Amino acid sequence: MQFFGGSEISPSPPVPTASGNNAHMIYVFNRNGVCLLYREWNRPLHTLNAQQDHKLMFGLLFSLKSLTAKMDPTNLDKGNLGVPQLPGQGCSFHSFRTNTYKLSFMETPSGIKIILVTHPRTGDLRDSLKYIYNLYVEYVAKNPLYTPGTPIRCDLFDTTLDQYVRSIA
């Protein structure tokens, strides 16, 4: 039997930028700030409980987005600071780096935010995030048993994601 589209995920995964296990954690938020997914691979330090941690992360991303939208030096009309931006509207950011970690960020047109925290010297992960989004579309969005806006519980997604993240970072 031949299905239209096939089960193969269309774009092939980007070439790994690093080897070894230096990915720290991944967050997936929807546009309302609900944490759909949180996984950690290597996180020795927990300063807050899980719920507060997710809230803080979402708040950070929200504020950084309004900061970058306001700061955008190439745009004349930037609106007011702190006004909520629609996904894709205004100048956003794709990563930031501290001395202990690098956070890569992607927002999809539907407002899904994917955050990957890795070793500070990891290279550009924009393509990898796109690939993770692809996995989400394939295994979560297409899963009839998944109710949008609830935490993701799909084994297939989990295992593929785990494999992929281990391979890139």
CA distance 167 to 12: 13
Chain residues in the site for another protein (CB under 8 A): 24-25, 40, 42-45, 47-48, 53, 56-57, 59-60, 63-64, 66-68, 70-78, 81-82, 91-101, 103, 117
Structure tokens at 131: 């690939």
Closest approach, Cβ 167 to another protein, in A, equals 19
CB-wise, 58 or 157, nearer to another protein?
58
> Among 29, 15, 13, which Cα is nearest to 62's?
29
Using an 8 Å Cβ cutoff, are 149 and 32 in contact?
yes
CB-wise, 116 or 152, nearer to another protein?
116
Alpha carbon distances (Å) from 6 to 1, 21, 155, 156: 10, 31, 20, 16
CB-wise, 31 or 78, nearer to another protein?
78
Closest approach, Cβ 18 to another protein, in A, equals 16
Closest approach, Cβ 103 to another protein, in A, equals 8
How many residues are listed for the chain in this entry?
A: 169
CB-wise, 103 or 154, nearer to another protein?
103
CB-wise, 107 or 138, nearer to another protein?
107
Using an 8 Å Cβ cutoff, are 91 and 69 in contact?
yes
CA distance 61 to 35: 13
Closest approach, Cβ 48 to another protein, in A, equals 7
Closest approach, Cβ 124 to another protein, in A, equals 9
Please report, as a single letter, which amino acid is at residue 150.
Answer: T
Who's near 127: CB < 8 A, 6+ residues apart? 14
